[in-house]
Structure 1
Amino acid sequence: MNLASHPVVASLTPVFLLIALGYFAGRRDWIRESAVRDLSNLVFLLLIPALLFRTMSGVHVETLDLRPLAAYFPAALLLLIVSIAWRGFNRSSVVMALGGVFSNMVMIGITLVELAYGKAALVTLLTLVSVHALILLTVGSVVLELVVAREAREGGERAPHVLETAWSAFKGALIHPIPLPIISGLLFAQTGWSLPAVVDKPLQLLGSAFGPLALVLVGVTLARTPLGGHLKPALWITASKNLLLPLLVGVSAWAWGITGLPLTVMVVAAALPMGANVFLFAQRYEVAQGLTTAAMGLSTVLALFTLSAVMLLMTYVN
């Protein structure tokens, strides 16, 4: 088979080409800093919900395979706990550990998985996406608040109760433009109705605009990401995110007896580069912001090689 026509190469090439074009546009300042936030809001508040709702509106709950949830998240949480224990119980450690387990499933993953494996694979990915932030970001929030509470006690200050923090994190992750349209779409599908054409067509057009714009925005963000002074720790985070997590998820999926397309989607999802939500945590807790930004950029750049290798490997495993 010609390498250029290999399914993995054929699906990865447009993804990284669009990211490269976004990087070029960012370096040329064609998309200025002030416009990036507005474009990000367009993607997250309009395009993503349209795509997610339309995709899940035809999926019946009884056909869903929930084993990927049971296999993926224990592996991710185990790596998170081990990473925190290895680095120490402090704000920087928790943010770095979160960077090593939180995948960019939406901005990169949705487009890549649909291109490489089709609509059936997208259902498996969206099953993971529906609780990905809910689980990992809630756990991350609680652990970070425990660290802050310990610091407050050591400083003689009053800290908020951990249950209050957990509930706040849970609500923030659930009432969000990613899980809400997934859940709404699933609920609509159970009615047995189908979307009328006057609704379905606009949703289709909005959803089709998501992939190119999201990938170009990833490239624009990379153009403004400095790596200086953070290369070594950023490499450790990247190794965890791009290589160790997919290995652990693959072993966990094998233990659950998951094979075929669901196994491939799970491992590829775990091998995706680091998601931008981790940087929001670094900002909120005022720690490791430069390192987190550098790790996100390095993880995305090196994914060109690590993700290609993982996807090629999965073609032989299955």
Structure 2
Amino acid sequence: MNITDHPVVASLTPVFILIALGYLAGRLKWIRESAVKDLSNLVFLLLIPALLFRTMSTVHVEALDLRPLLAYFLAALLLLGGSIFWRGFDRKSVVMALGGVFSNLVMIGITVVQLAYGKPALVTLLTIVSVHAIILLTVTTVVLEMAVASENRANGMEAPHLLTTTWMAFKSALIHPIPLPIVTGLLFAQTGWSLPMVVDKPLMLLGSAFGPIALVLVGVTMATTQLRGHLQSALWITASKNLLLPLMVGISAWAFGITGLPLTVMVVAAAMPMGANVFMFAQRYEVAQELTTASMVMSTGLALFTLTLVMLVMSWIN
């Protein structure tokens, strides 16, 4: 078989070509920084919800296997806790630990999984996506608020109530353009109805536009980021995100008896580069912002090699 015909290479090549084209467009200022926010809103508020709702609108709850959720988040939370313990308990440590476990499952993951493994694989992936932000971002918010409270007490300041902060974090993660269309799509599927053609066709067209635009935006973001001064720390975060998390998820899935396509999707999802939500946390808590951005760029750039490696290994195992 010609190397270019290998399923892994054939599915990943378009992904990285689109990211490279976005990088070129960013460097040449074809897409200016001021336009990136508007394009991001287009992707997150219109294209992604259309794709997620349409995909989940035919999935019946009784057919879902929830073991991948348990296995994936057991591994992710163990790595999150271990990373915080290793670096020490403060805001910077927590944000860096989140960078090592929070995957870009939407802007890159959905496109890669669909190209490589087809629509059936999206069911497993979107099951993880539906609670990915809710679990990881809520837990991280709680831990960050505990770190802030500890700093405030050390400085003689009053900290906000932890339960209030936790509830606000959970609510903002749930009422979000990612989990909301997944949940509503699942609820619609349980009615037994089918989407009328006049609704299904526009949703299909919007969903098909998501992948290319999202990947180009990833490249544009990379073009405006400098790695200088953060290489060593960014490399540690990238190693955790791109290699250690998929290894731990694979071991966890094996312990739960998960095999075949669900196992592959879980491990590949864990091997996706770092997601942009980590930078939002760095901004919100005013810590490690440049390091977080540099880590996201390095994680995405090196994913060309690490993600290819992980997908090849999974093709040999399965």
Query: Normalising TM by the smaller chain, what interval?
Result: over 0.9
Q: Secondary structure at the match of 1:313?
A: helix
Aligned counterparts of 2:290 and 2:244: Cα–Cα separation in 1:
23
State the match for 2:161 in structure 1: 161
Aligned counterparts of 1:306 and 1:160: Cα–Cα separation in 2:
41
Q: Determine if the alignment matches structure 1 residue 227 to structure 2 residue 227.
A: yes
Measured against aligned partners, the alpha-carbon deviations of 1:98-152 in whole angstroms (never above 9, x if no partner) come to 0000000000000000000000001100000000000000001010000111111
State the match for 1:122 in structure 2: 122
Please state how far the C-alpha of 1:185 moved relative to its aligned partner.
0.1
Q: Secondary structure at the match of 1:158?
A: coil
Aligned counterparts of 1:76 and 1:306: Cα–Cα separation in 2:
18
Aligned counterparts of 1:148 and 1:66: Cα–Cα separation in 2:
34
Aligned counterparts of 1:88 and 1:109: Cα–Cα separation in 2:
31
State the match for 1:53 in structure 2: 53
Counterpart mapping for 1:150-299 below 5 A: 150-299=150-299
Q: Secondary structure at the match of 1:212?
A: helix
Measured against aligned partners, the alpha-carbon deviations of 1:177-216 in whole angstroms (never above 9, x if no partner) come to 0000000000000000000000000000000000000000
State the match for 1:148 in structure 2: 148
State the match for 1:135 in structure 2: 135
Please state how far the C-alpha of 1:153 moved relative to its aligned partner.
1.0
Please state how far the C-alpha of 1:225 moved relative to its aligned partner.
1.1
Aligned counterparts of 2:252 and 2:157: Cα–Cα separation in 1:
42
Please state how far the C-alpha of 1:259 moved relative to its aligned partner.
0.2
State the match for 1:37 in structure 2: 37
Counterpart mapping for 1:84-95 below 5 A: 84-95=84-95
- What is the letter of the counterpart of residue 44 of structure 1? F
- What is the letter of the counterpart of residue 81 of structure 1? G
TM-score, structure 2 as length reference = 1.00
Q: Determine if the alignment matches structure 1 residue 309 to structure 2 residue 309.
A: yes
Mind listing any 5+ residue stretches in structure 1 that lack a counterpart? none
Aligned counterparts of 2:289 and 2:195: Cα–Cα separation in 1:
44
Aligned counterparts of 1:112 and 1:243: Cα–Cα separation in 2:
17
Counterpart mapping for 1:13-32 below 5 A: 13-32=13-32
Counterpart mapping for 1:61-80 below 5 A: 61-80=61-80
Measured against aligned partners, the alpha-carbon deviations of 1:9-34 in whole angstroms (never above 9, x if no partner) come to 00000000000000000000000011
Mind listing any 5+ residue stretches in structure 2 that lack a counterpart? none
Aligned counterparts of 1:225 and 1:105: Cα–Cα separation in 2:
21
Aligned counterparts of 1:224 and 1:96: Cα–Cα separation in 2:
21
- What is the letter of the counterpart of residue 94 of structure 1? V
> What count of residue pairs does the alignment treat as equivalent?
318
Please state how far the C-alpha of 1:78 moved relative to its aligned partner.
0.2
State the match for 2:103 in structure 1: 103
Q: Secondary structure at the match of 2:294?
A: helix
State the percentage of identical aligned residues. 80
- What is the letter of the counterpart of residue 12 of structure 2? L
Aligned counterparts of 1:219 and 1:123: Cα–Cα separation in 2:
27
Q: Secondary structure at the match of 1:295?
A: helix
Aligned counterparts of 1:33 and 1:248: Cα–Cα separation in 2:
37
- What is the letter of the counterpart of residue 118 of structure 1? G
- What is the letter of the counterpart of residue 38 of structure 2? D
Question: Segments of 4+ in structure 1 off by > 4 A?
Answer: none
Aligned counterparts of 2:284 and 2:119: Cα–Cα separation in 1:
36
Q: Secondary structure at the match of 2:101?
A: coil
